């Protein structure tokens, strides 16, 4: 008999599969925060947030902040 965890994983995987089947690839974004803001912003057609490095003055894409 499958555990609750196994059932939850199976439900998640089935739900994920159904979403991928229902939504065309050009209308969905499969996204990881590790990718940064750029893919998300390009998908949404909005500007990528930027930050200026205080020491060098260079402008770069703003990072996602995550707990690791």
- For the chain, give every domain's residue range: 4-61
Task: Count other Cβ atoms within 10 Å, centred on residue 25.
Answer: 8
| pLDDT score recorded for residue 59 | 87
| pLDDT score recorded for residue 38 | 92
Q: Which single residue is written with the structure tokens 């974004």?
A: 29
Are 28 and 20 in contact, with CB atoms under 8 Å apart? yes
| pLDDT score recorded for residue 60 | 85
- pLDDT tens, position by position, for the chain (68 residues)? 889 999 999 999 999 999 999 999 999 999 898 888 899 999 999 999 988 888 888 888 887 776 66
Q: State the distance between the two ends of the chain, measured CA to CA, in whole angstroms.
A: 34
- Specify the DSSP element, H or E, that contains 29: none
């Amino acid at each position: 008999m499958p555990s609750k965890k196994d059932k939850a994983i199976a439900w998640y995987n089935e739900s994920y599969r159904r979403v991928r089947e229902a939504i065309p690839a050009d209308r969905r974004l499969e996204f990881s925060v590790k990718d940064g803001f750029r893919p998300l912003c390009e998908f949404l057609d909005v500007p990528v947030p930027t930050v200026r490095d205080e020491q060098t003055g260079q402008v770069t894409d703003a990072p996602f902040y995550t707990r690791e």
